[in-house]
Chain A
Amino acid sequence: MARHFDQSLQDVKKLLLEMGARVEIAIDKAVKSLASLHVPMAQMVCSEDQKIDELELQIDDTVAKLIATQQPVAKDLRLLIAAMKIASDMERMADLAVNIAQVTIELKENNLGLFKELEDIPRMAKITQKMVHDGINSYIDGNIELAKSLAKTDDQVDQLYFAIIKELTAYLPGSNENAEVALKLCFVARYLERIADHATNIAESIVYIETGKQADLN
């Protein structure tokens, strides 16, 4: 039997898809703006964050109305609870992308340049973007295996993070310009690492939807 509820659920999924696509773009642009010190691109990441915030509110609102009017149970209920959690995770990811974009703007404002070409940070960004992408797809398709494998990728992100921190701390002693830039890049690495953690949360939400059990995937 086709249910009105299923249509509403599709609407929630569409909103999440749009949010996910925007978050992926935000991460991509934030890191690219940093690598090229491209301020307009960084500013775009900041200004587009508002749309992502609005999407989160829209998802919360839709879910609250569905719970109030349809009294969903079982998997229907889990899908909705997870949708709210995923939206919240994505909203945080977008904020972290803004934090990265702000580093670009600060560097430029203070006339600071990168002392070397970025390698590991863009690599980290690529992996986290893929994690976000897989997270949303696993929600849409109910693909628990994809969710679990994306959570495993978080280890790669963590390894890159520690490698970056180790490399950058070499620049920290002293108070020259390089130290200041290195410190900011450490923050960027930290932001990306947090984004990957939120992607792992999404994977855990998928396991919850499909099995009804809370999972700790990392």
Chain B
Amino acid sequence: MNQLAISVQDLNLYYGDKQALRKINMEIEEKSVTALIGPSGCGKSTFLRTLNRMNDLIPGVRIDGEIMIHNQNIYDDEVDVEMLRKQVGMVFQAPNPFPKSIYDNVAYGPRIHGIKNKSRLDEIVEKSLRGAALWDEVKDRLKDRATGLSGGQQQRLCIARALAVEPEILLMDEPTSALDPISTLKIEELVQELKKNYTIVIVTHNMQQAARISDKTAFFLNGDMIEYDNTDKLFSNPQNKQTEDYITGRFG
């Protein structure tokens, strides 16, 4: 077994009075892909956002329990949230490039973290774009506006932007739901490449995608994590009736 990248213990999350996550316990190995599935409103995206404290930005959210990354509870007071989000990057559902050039989109994060040297930035931009399997398509037009790229290219640019600050963990919230099948396939193949170096946690509504790309899958329902197992096991022989009903399309 690989080292643990993330260890979640007894995590509860409340939006005001409403409990949105109930006693979640989960261990995620380094350099693996973990898929979170479940019907809308089950808590999977909320859970994903707890992993880099994106929920801190939502008023009325209360969290207890622990999320350990490198033996540090990320909800401890002394944790620098910006450093945490550098370590745990995020890619969203709709590609959201900045209205800047392709180059500046990727260089944005490193610049914020104090890198000014041009050749160092060039290096990071190339490495990140290569890492996101976009370099060959954009290397001759790095100064073009990012918004001129296709949807699939924009999403890979967002992945490159996330990679530019050298995270360890990448969170992806339905990263292909706005993309056509070919762009989706490219992102899925990219995920397989990325897991050699990164730990990836991905929320997807596409169960076949979860089955194709993840090592482990967690099924969420009404704020509970119902089942968490190796993906091939969960999709071929789930242990829980609710999981079976969901993945075979009997509800949800």
Min CB distance, B238 to chain A, in Å? 6
Are B249's CB and A5's CB within 8 A?
Answer: yes
The complex places the Cα of A217 from the Cα of B244 at a distance, in Å, of: 26
The reply to whether B236 and A212 form a contact with Cβ atoms under 8 Å apart is yes
For B235, what are the chain A residues with a Cβ–Cβ distance below 8 Å? 73-74
Q: Which residues of A lie under 8 Å from residue B237 when comparing CB positions? A: 74, 78, 211-213
A77 at interface, CB cutoff 8 A: yes
**Binary contact track B222-252/A, C-beta < 8 Å → 1, others 0:** 0000000000000111100000100111110
Which residue of A1, A3, A5, A77 contacts B236 across the interface (Cβ within 8 Å)?
Answer: A77
**Nearest CB on B from A67, distance (A):** 12
Q: Given A212-B236, A212-B237, A73 and B250 touching (CB < 8 A)?
A: no
Q: How many angstroms from the CA of A3 to the CA of B250 in the assembled complex?
A: 7
Contact with A along B54-65 (1 / 0, CB 8 A): 000000000000
- Chain B residues within an 8 Å CB radius of A211: 237
Given A212-B236, A212-B237, CB of A75 within 8 Å of CB of B244: yes
Bound complex: CA A77 to CA B235 (Å)? 9
Give the residues in chain B near A40, CB-CB below 8 Å. Answer: none
User: Distance (Å) between the CB of A64 and the closest chain B CB?
Assistant: 17
B94 near A: Cβ within 8 Å?
A: no
Find residues 58-97 in chain A having any chain B CB closer than 8 Å to their own CB.
71-78
Decide: B250 and A75 in contact? CB cutoff 8 A: no
Q: How far is the CA of A72 from the CA of B236 in the complex (A)?
A: 9
Which A residues are CB-close (under 8 A) to B117? none
Q: A212-B236, A212-B237 are known contacts. Are A73 and B207 too (CB-CB below 8 A)?
A: yes
Residue contact A72 to B248, C-beta cutoff 8 Å: yes
Cα distance A167–B45 when bound, in Å?
73
A109: min CB distance to chain B, Å: 52
Chain A interface size band reads: 10 to 19
Q: B236 to A73, Cβ gap below 8 A?
A: yes
Contact of B3 with A by CB under 8 A: no
In the complex, what residues of A have CB within 8 A of residue B251's CB?
1
Taking residues whose C-beta sits less than 8 angstroms from the other chain, chain B's interface range is 10 to 19
CB-based contact A74/B244 at 8 Å: yes
The minimal Cβ–Cβ distance linking B98 to chain A, given in whole angstroms, is 37
Give bound CA distance, A77 to B247, whole Å.
11
Q: Are A71 and B236 in contact (CB under 8 A)?
A: no
| With known contacts A71-B208, A73-B236, A74-B236, A3–B244 Cβ distance under 8 A | no
Q: Which of B208, B236, B238 has the most CB of A within 10 A?
A: B236
Chain A stretch 85-137: residues in CB contact (< 8 A) with chain B: none
> What's the minimum C-beta distance from A12 to chain B, rounded to whole angstroms?
15
A92 to B124, CA, bound (A): 63
A76/B248 in contact, CB under 8 A: yes
* Bound Cα distance A117, B207 (Å): 62
Q: With CB as the reference atom, state the residue of chain B lying closest to A3.
A: B249
| B211 close to A (CB within 8 Å) | yes
**Are A74 and B247 touching (Cβ within 8 A)?**
yes
Complex Cα–Cα for A77 and B238 (A)? 12
Interface centre among A74, A77, A211, A213, by most chain B C-beta atoms within 10 angstroms, is: A74
Chain B residues with CB below 8 A from A73, complex form = 207, 211, 235-236, 247-248
* Chain A window 5-21, contacts with chain B (Cβ cutoff 8 Å), 1 for yes, 0 for no: 10000000000000000
Closest chain B CB from A195 CB (angstroms): 30
B252 to chain A, nearest CB (A): 9
In angstroms, Cα B237 to Cα A213, docked, is 9
Q: Which residues of chain A are within 8 angstroms of B207 by Cβ–Cβ distance?
A: 73
A74 CA / B37 CA spacing, docked (Å): 15
Which residues of chain B from 34 to 93 have a CB within 8 Å of any chain A CB? Answer: none
Give 11 A-B contacts (CB < 8 Å), ordered by A residue. A1-B249, A1-B250, A1-B251, A3-B249, A71-B208, A73-B236, A74-B236, A74-B237, A74-B247, A74-B248, A76-B248
Going nearest first, the 10 A-B pairs with the smallest beta carbon separation are A212-B237, A73-B235, A76-B248, A73-B247, A74-B244, A71-B208, A74-B248, A74-B238, A74-B247, A1-B250
